[in-house]
Amino acid sequence: MSTLENIRKKVRRLTGRPSINQISDSEIDFYINTFYQYDFPENLKLFSLQGIYEFMTEANVDIYDLPDPNIYSNIIPPVYIAGYQSFWSQDREQFFRIYPKLAEITTSISGDGTAGPYNFILPNIPMLQNEVSIGAIDSTGSTVQIVDSPQNRTTGNWIIIGTATVITGNINYITGVGTITFNNTIPLGNEITITHVPYQPNRPQAILYFDNQITLRPVPDKPYKVTVNAFKTPTALINSGDAPDLNLWWQYLAYGASKKIFEDSQDPEGVSNILPGFKEQERIVLRRSIIQQTTQRTATIYTEMTQFPYGNYYGNRF
């Protein structure tokens, strides 16, 4: 009853378009999935759409890209790292005020009248990826600005800042051993400045969520499982027999798709006619989450300090 085929039929009845000559099945599917994947999960944060997102850290890697945001619309606290509830932030200023990235500056090498190679070993290791830079003035009088480009968790290449131009050489983030050959010669005695950000690896205790990336501090010293709450984006309905995650939603999807068809047809009367039914189905869909959430009061920092039945039953002493 809740299949894509029946949702199509409902859309045709609601919009008064029974013939495929008026609107094709593929067009209806487009409207259904547009509403289902984009409007629905953003307008209604349902209990049924909640899940968890998990990933494993790698030793000496602090930044992790999230999967396609079309899979998870939002990730929210609490976050657990190796089972420990950890600090969550979405504010770069707050996070890096607590865990500042303080660079060390090395000027132990200078130009010898050639382009290189110049070999060096940086002190205070390991060092953060994407935080190593080299600056110098070459024989043309230009300022050379080079940064690292991570290739794996231990090694990075060199590129000219703001470009994809690769410079010969590499840096080992764990040992601090590096080498570089410039595109132009570096005059004798010209200072070559290298900056890097050292860190002390350990079990992460804090997370920054920003720009669809997760940054961990301290930087992991080994693999740990990270678990965070997430809102999932529903999977598109493709085949005639496909059904939404909950059968209850099928009429709401039909009304939502019909509303979009009327909107694109510049038919305000059609929108007005189905709006009461759309709102009724929206209330029905919301009712399930409301009932689920009424079984538990809003948690506070004092929740587990109260006695049963409101507190942590197994944590109380009798």
According to DSSP, the residues that pair with 217 across neighbouring strands are 206
Output the pLDDT for position 302. 61
Q: What angle do CA 143, 147, 148 make, to 5 degrees?
A: 155
CA 87, CA 71: separation in Å to the nearest integer?
Answer: 24
- The alpha carbons of the chain give a radius of gyration, in whole angstroms, of 28
Output the pLDDT for position 291. 64
Percentage helix, strand, coil for the chain under 3-state DSSP, each rounded to 5: 30, 30, 40
> Distance of CA 207 to CAs 53, 131, 192, 230, Å?
14, 19, 35, 15
HSE-CB of 195 using CA atoms within 13 angstroms? 11
Alpha helices in the chain (DSSP H): 4-15, 25-34, 40-43, 92-98, 250-264, 268-293
In the chain, where the domains are located: 1-92+203-295, 104-196
Output the pLDDT for position 310. 47
By three-state DSSP, how is residue 118 classified? strand
Enter the CATH code of domain 104-196: 2.60.40
Q: Which two tokens stand for residue 205?
A: 């205790």
Output the pLDDT for position 114. 95
Q: What is the pLDDT along the chain (318 residues), one digit of tens a residue?
A: 789 999 999 999 999 999 999 999 999 999 999 998 888 887 877 767 778 899 999 999 999 998 777 788 788 899 999 999 999 999 999 999 999 999 999 988 999 999 989 999 999 999 999 999 999 999 999 999 999 999 998 999 999 998 889 999 999 999 999 999 999 999 999 999 999 999 999 999 999 999 989 999 999 999 999 999 888 888 889 999 999 888 888 999 999 999 999 999 999 999 999 999 999 998 988 877 666 666 666 666 565 555 545 455 445 544
Nearest to 150 by CA among 60, 56, 55: 60
Contact 255, 35 (CB under 8 A): no
Output the pLDDT for position 83. 93
Amino acid letter, 4: L
29 alpha carbon, distance to own chain's centre? 28
CA 146, CA 291: separation in Å to the nearest integer?
Answer: 58
Alpha helices in 46-178 (DSSP H): 92-98
> Distance of CA 300 to CAs 79, 294, 304, Å?
17, 16, 8
Output the pLDDT for position 294. 65
Nearest to 311 by CA among 297, 294, 292: 297
Which pTM value belongs to this model? 0.75
Strands 155-160 and 213-217: unpaired
CA 40, CA 256: separation in Å to the nearest integer?
Answer: 8
